[in-house]
Amino acid sequence: MSLIHIQNLNKHFKVLNRREGIGGAFRDLFSGSYRTVKAVDDISFDIEAGEIVGYIGPNGAGKSTTIKMMTGILKPSGGTLQVNGLMPYNNRIKQAQIMGVVFGQRTQLWWDLPVIESFKILREIYKVDQKMFDRHMGMFDELVGLKTLYSQQVRTLSLGQRMLCDIAASFLHNPQVVFLDEPTIGLDISVKAKIRSLIKTLNAERNTTIILTTHDLGDVEALCQRIIIIDKGKILYDGDIKRVTALFGAYRTLKLQIDNYADSTLQSLQEKLTEHFGADNGCTIAQTEEFWTDVTFDQARTPLSDVLGQVMANFRVSDVRIVEISMESVVQQVYDGALR
């Protein structure tokens, strides 16, 4: 039996279509019209003990909602969900003992107390014996230098320091499974690297199962063997990360600021690329922010210099940036059949 078993799981939210103004709010009170948001739409997967799974997808895909069901906050609208053989929503207290959770940037430590006191309170809550406590605290110190933060009030920590403390705290009671929802969001590269190594070591040391939610592909490349891609509540891919990195590892996005940008620019850019590289060139063009045109392409098929050359030859470009492929473009590519 797998540690986490999910079958045809759903979560639907009824959301009020708010009317405008005070009068509207008043009428909503009595006769609101609702629409249903299928935040999680018929998903199934199993996770075995000891796995690190990257649960990825763009904003609003349904990642947090799935985690909220697995941690017993939300009641599923339908389907089966078992963690360690039990339905989390109906066994919250019992399940909390075998889980660790870090939810985004909202700390679970005691805001006004020194860091070490939070850990001591957690020791009491989870009844961690002194030997295990000392061992784990030693390990946290070795991995991220936790000791230097012991006497600082949680409120005075930087976001990165707080995340490190929160993640360490979620492993203190040696849980069977740890859920990390967007642990690296808003952090700079060096803290990200520390967090990745902390997670990796803890998983290896204690064979703790880890479900990691992120929209940073770097996180999953560094940590996971298996990824599950979700979008609009549905699972698009569940499998080895190697297939995904093989596909997207070579992808880059070229961000261009084109002079005299007009509505026809995207169209003519598309035509020029097709003209030069053929119809099946693997390039996608989109405008994701004002003044910037994104060209996402596969370096293996269309080298960067060629794409850039084509663009420069045909358009006046005032600024250029090259970035790694975004989660949104990955999902778009998967829809377009990239992993089939």
Partner 1 sequence: MHSFLDYIRLYFIIETQYIKARMQYRADFIISSFGMFFSSLATLGIFWIIFNSIPELAGWTFMQLVFIYGFYMIAISPMQILFDHIWQIRFHVQQGTFLKYYFRPLNMMFYYMSEMFDIKGLTQLAAGVAILIYASIQLGIDWTLLRIALLLLTLFSASLVQISITLMAGCAAFWVLDSYPVLGLAWKLREFAPYPMNIFDGAFRFTFTFIIPLGFVAFYPSQLFLQPQDVSPLVYFSPLVGIGLFALTYWVWTLGVNSYTGTGS
Report the interface residues with ligand ADP, using CB under 6 A: 13, 15, 37, 39, 57, 59-65
Applying CB under 8 A, among 33, 36, 80, 97 the residue interacting with partner 1 is 97
- Candidate segments 56-64, 190-198, 236-244, 300-308, binder of Mg ion by CB under 5 A: 56-64
Distances (CA, A) of 218 to 215, 221, 222: 9, 5, 6
Query: What stretch of H or E contains 296?
Result: strand 292-298
Binding segment for partner 1 (CB under 8 A), chosen from 44-52, 95-103, 251-259, 322-330, is: 95-103
DSSP notation for 148-211: GGTTSBGGGS-HHHHHHHHHHHHHTT--SEEEEESTTTT--HHHHHHHHHHHHHHHHHH--EEE
Minimum separation from the CB atom of position 218 to partner 1 (A): 21
- Quick check: 125 binds partner 1 (CB under 8 A)? yes
> C-beta of 181: minimal distance to ligand ADP in Å?
7
Tell whether residue 35 is a contact of partner 1 (CB under 8 A).
no
> Whole-number minimum distance, CB 84 to ligand ADP, in Å?
23
Estimate to the nearest angstrom the gap between the alpha carbon of 332 and the chain centroid.
17
Q: Which amino acid is located at 226 in the chain?
A: R
CB of 88 to partner 1, least distance (A): 10
Distance CA 130, CA 207 (A): 21
The option from ligand ADP, partner 1, Mg ion, none interacting with 57 (CB < 5 to 8 A, set by class) reads: ligand ADP
**Residue with Cβ nearer Mg ion (64 or 253):** 64
- Residue 29 is encoded by which pair of tokens? 């009170």
**How far apart are alpha carbons 9 and 244 in whole angstroms?**
25
Q: DSSP letter at 114?
A: B
Query: Which listed residue (3, 54, 58, 64) binds Mg ion by CB under 5 A?
Result: 64
Angle at 58 between CA 53 and CA 64, to 5 degrees: 60
Closer residue to partner 1, CB minimum distance, 106 or 131:
106
Contact positions vs partner 1 (CB under 8 A): 13, 59-60, 64, 68, 71-75, 92-94, 96-97, 99, 101, 103, 106-108, 110, 112-113, 117, 120-121, 124-126, 153
